[in-house]
Amino acid sequence: MALINCSECSTEVSDKASACQKCGAPIKKQKESLLKQRLSIKEVIGGLFVVGIFIWWQANSNQHSTDSSGPSPSSSSSYPHIPADQQELEQTRIRLYSAYQAASDKNQIQASSVFNVANKATDDFFQKHGTKFNNWTATIEDLTTSHGGATASLNLTSENGASYRLKDDAEPSTALYQQLSVLREGQKVYFSGEIIPSSLATGIDRKWEQSLTESGSLQSPEFKVSVSYIGTTSDSSN
């Protein structure tokens, strides 16, 4: 049993009483009114909680968007932005990976057709732009040397997941070897050079892209390159 105040005379009465013992006002209606007030307060609190969650989500979404965009390109710690032509080349293959996966679940012939479309798009890219490029961007994935540092090998990975490997290891007498000597794995760099067709790089009849599987060539395409410049600042010679 709980005591409540009569809404008419403020006398304390049992919430189970049918009427106020002093003024005779019905207690049932007062209980219903009090219950509605309590429910209304809960609804307001619940609504405020939902609004608070929404505001928090919006704030964090905006913060994530700001963080994802990174600092301005002029900052020395910023990630170099992928140039338009590099983005175009990588997307000739990566954008078709989902379609290839969907086709693979049904029919490998259909999947290979998607792969061939990607090859045609890549070929069209080089017909349009040529094989040379300037100031593309990537992260140094692997930087290793042969015994005694006789040669240096390099593997770069772009923000999109595409790989760029040296066609030939760099020798100590080359400018590239000297440039590599001051860099480290995990560093974000600019690089200039030329894409080498697979017929010249490995003998595999795939023309431009080097992966051993169709799926890999679309998910994480790999290209052989001849690099004329690599560094943490852009190449100003071109």
Dist. CA 61–CA 67, nearest whole Å:
10
Domain with CATH 2.40.50.140 in the chain: 84-231
Model confidence at 35, pLDDT cuts 50, 70, 90, reads low
User: Is residue 169 over pLDDT 90?
Assistant: yes
The pLDDT tens digits of the residues spanning 17-31 come to: 667 777 877 655 555
Dist. CA 121–CA 113, nearest whole Å:
12
Identify the weakest region by mean pLDDT among 24-28, 63-67, 92-96, 215-219.
63-67
The CATH number of 84-231, from 3.30.450.40, 3.30.499.10, 3.40.50.1390, 2.40.50.140, is 2.40.50.140
The pLDDT tens digits of the residues spanning 122-168 come to: 999 999 999 999 999 999 999 999 988 899 999 999 999 999 999 99
pTM above 0.85, yes or no: no
Residue 73: phi and psi, rounded to 5, are -55, -20
Task: Spell out the alpha helix ranges (H) of 130-230.
Answer: 175-180, 198-201, 214-219
Question: Which pLDDT score, from 0 to 100, does residue 225 have?
Answer: 96
- Which residue type is seen at 138? A
For residue 233, give the H/E element and its range: none
149, 172 in Cβ contact below 8 A? yes
Dist. CA 154–CA 95, nearest whole Å:
26
